Structure formats: C-alpha cells, structure tokens
Amino acid sequence: MINVKNKEFTIAFGKSLVSLRKNACLTQEELANDADIPLSQVGRIERGEVNTTISTVYVLAKAMDLDVAELFDFKI
C-alpha cells in the first residue's frame, strides 16, 4: 500500500464512491469497464488505499453519469 497523507479523507471518499456506485446499480467491474480503468484500481479507491488522481475522479463520475462534485459530497 502506498503511503497516503490523509487516510481519513481517502477512506471517506472510498465509502462515498461505493455508495454512489451501488446507487447507480453498478458492480465494481462494470464501473471499471465504463471508466476504462483497472478493476483492481476501483477496489483500491473504494478501500481508501490510494489517493486517486483528478483524471480518475473525472472518468468515475462520467461513468456513473454524475457531476464530479457529487463524488465529494460526503462528511468525514
């Protein structure tokens, strides 16, 4: 696992992503395919193991037909 500076934030982001993905009725595999990123990357993001890039956040949002800001609408 890569050293993440703000672990609490990345974990909260991951939990938010899981919730949004499930609300969109998508599996991790479907989200990965739609966003054109590796399935393992989706899992690492959802578990808060990585501090993902803004470009990955963008493709995740578009794959779920959301605005990028919606991925950050959570409390820590």
Q: What are the residue boundaries of the structural domains of the chain, listed by start?
A: 7-66
Alpha-carbon span 8 to 55, nearest angstrom: 21
Entry pTM: 0.90
Residue 13 DSSP SS3: helix
Q: What is the DSSP string of 42-59?
A: HHHHHTT-S---HHHHHH
| Radius of gyration from C-alpha coordinates of the chain | 11
pLDDT digits (tens, 9 = 90+) for 23-73: 999 999 999 999 999 999 999 999 999 999 999 999 999 999 999 999 999
Q: Note the CATH number of domain 7-66.
A: 1.10.260.40
Alpha-carbon span 42 to 23, nearest angstrom: 16
Closest of 52, 3, 8, 40 to residue 60, by C-alpha: 52
